[in-house]
Amino acid sequence: MIQDYNDYYKQKLEEGQEYQDFVASVLLKMGIVLSSYSSKKYQYAKGESTNGIEIKCQKNYKQYGTLCIETHEKAHPENMDYIHSGIFRGDNSWLFITGDDETIYIFSHTMLKGLNGHYDTYKTPTSKGYKLPIKDADKYCAKRIDVIEQNTHNDKNRS
């Protein structure tokens, strides 16, 4: 089980890092520069980025009809206790960005904290939180970026 988890963790880490780079490139086209911390030392001490932006990839959210909003985590499934994470981590994060390669949702942590306790919860061996229905994500997000439309708009501006 430990080797399976280690392989799974590495795969998800790589997917997350690729998604973070993708979001950074989309934001840059909008004039927003994302400066991520890459070391665990700075991520634990400061947060995910100098901007206070946390990014989570959710490739399959459309299949389930919800976005998973993480509130607690544990580094390994064999650990006994979950610790605050995601919107309750207590670092410099004030924005939470999530979605997939087609749609990016930007939420304020304040909004997501206020929604906690109003939706069904989820629990995995390493994470727990709540499931925000897509229709409500559209209502509560600070901004929704439809990447295809964004790219089409940028291409038209270059012509």
Q: What is the pLDDT of residue 158?
A: 39
For residues 149 and 103, the answer to whether their CB atoms sit within 8 Å is no
pLDDT band at 138 (very low <50, low <70, confident <90, very high): very high
For residues 45 and 56, the answer to whether their CB atoms sit within 8 Å is no
Q: What is the pLDDT of residue 110?
A: 96
Per-residue pLDDT reduced to its tens digit, 86-123? 899 989 999 999 999 999 999 999 999 999 999 999 99
What is the length of the chain? 159
**Mean pLDDT of the region 23-36:** 92
Tell me the whole-structure pTM to 2 decimals.
0.87
Report the C-alpha gap between 43 and 49 in whole angstroms: 7
**pLDDT value at 156 more than 50:** no
Q: Give me the residues paired with residue 140 across strands.
A: none
Buried b or exposed e, range 97-121, using 16+ CB within 10 angstroms: bbbbeebbbbbebeebbebeeebee
For residues 61 and 67, the answer to whether their CB atoms sit within 8 Å is yes
> Residues with Cβ < 8 Å from 115, sequence gap 6 or more?
69, 130, 132, 136, 140
